[in-house]
Amino acid sequence: MGRLATPAASRVQRFVQKVGNIVYASGNSGTVNVPQADYTTTLDVISLQTVTSSATVPVIAAYGAFGPLQLVQVSVNGARHPYAAPGYFSDIYMRVRSDPYASQMTADPVTVSTTTTWVNHVHVPLTLAQGTTNGAWYTGDTTLQMVVKLGFNTPAVVFSTVNSATIQGSWDVWRESFSAPPPNQSAAWLAAISWYHEVAMQGTWQLKNGAATTIQLPRDQDYQRIFINVYSGNDYDSTYTPVYGQLTLTDLAINGKIHIFDTVSEGEMLFQQVFCYAEILGPGWYVLDFQRVKNSTRDILPTDTSVVQMLNLNLTSTATTYFADIYTEAVVDNPFAAKWIAMAQAATAAGTPLGP
């Protein structure tokens, strides 16, 4: 009595450990293998990056401190990516998912003839929400290899005017993991790994002048959030310029009849950001957020193909010189859990029930 610990047979221990370091390589990428042990729930990418300026400081492009990170990706067997997005989106994503987090540590100083330290940490959650292990990966499965990859932009992308500035340094990769019984021995952990949580970019669309651009989104998944980024220029070079005022109406429709977000104005979209996340995320960023109860899946948007024939996102702009990148956060059944479910069912049929 009076002890916090659960009985020894059902105890779980949380660990935080550094699993590797990736060195900046201009225009290239680097990887770290996640250890094949325990359950992996979260990865952090911690910057040890610097910028050296010449006698004239560079002009930082609109990506800000996250410009060096062209790609943050977690991959598993079969070329599947539970997480794949550029660094600047990763920052927006965490400000939405984990408010009141607001990039308080982020910094991108430049000083004449000086080497300065930039801070562009990235948090990569694999679970559905804060405070749950649903979506965890059983990396104790030695047939599963999880890899963290960072892709790097060149200085010509990070800076709109380089002025001979150079980028150096690296990023440490940290893992949050849990030591617990294998999933075929634990009902709770078997349920946790059955969710496949994915954050992905769906593509880029050119907007129209005064008419809707229709974007057909994938079906047969449960949406948590849809992110829209409107900008001029290109999202792969230093001309990228996110803007306000160019997304006049947003409409999300099922089968062309049920409007989940019904021709919503930009003003309403921005106002929702203020009372949901206590900030406006920045020029060109909009969120269709289905999770009205924090850290709950009550209000997700299911899109079963048996009932949803079309899921269309319609965006209306004022000019053809603007583009929209679409990112989604969604959940499906995890195919990597199938063998553990089969093993648990076999053990139960043989008279060995699952533990808690």
Rounded Cα distance, 322 and 208, in Å? 8
pLDDT at 72: 98
Q: Is the pLDDT of residue 221 over 70?
A: yes
Q: Is the pLDDT of residue 1 over 90?
A: no
Residue with tokens 């649903």: 134
Q: Is the pLDDT of residue 9 over 90?
A: no
Give whichever of 33-42, 271-280, 292-301 has the largest mean pLDDT: 33-42
In a domain? residue 2: no
CB 135 within 8 A of CB 295: no
Q: Is the pLDDT of residue 200 over 90?
A: yes
In a domain? residue 347: no
pLDDT at 18: 98
CB 43 within 8 A of CB 173: yes
Which two three-digit tokens encode residue 188? 């709770």
Give the domain CATH number at 133: 2.70.9.30
CB 13 within 8 A of CB 21: no
* Nearest to 132, CA basis, from 297, 18, 13: 297
Residues 145 and 39 both lie in one domain: yes
pLDDT at 42: 98
Its domain, for residue 291, covers 195-333
pLDDT per residue over 13-34, tens digit each?
A: 999 999 999 999 999 999 999 9
Confidence of residue 254 (pLDDT cuts 50, 70, 90): very high
Residues 164 and 210 both lie in one domain: no
Residues 212 and 136 both lie in one domain: no
Half-sphere exposure of 293 (CA within 13 A, CB side): 5
Give the domain CATH number at 303: 2.60.120.730
Rounded Cα distance, 86 and 92, in Å? 10
Residue ranges of the alpha helices (H) in 103-168?
155-158
Residue with tokens 């970019």: 201
Residues 164 and 301 both lie in one domain: no
In a domain? residue 232: yes
In a domain? residue 355: no
- Residue 109 backbone zone (phi > 0: left; psi -120 to 50: alpha; other: beta): beta
Number of domains, the chain: 2
pLDDT per residue over 301-336, tens digit each?
A: 999 999 999 999 999 999 999 999 999 999 999 999
Strand 195-206 relative to strand 80-85, pairing:
parallel
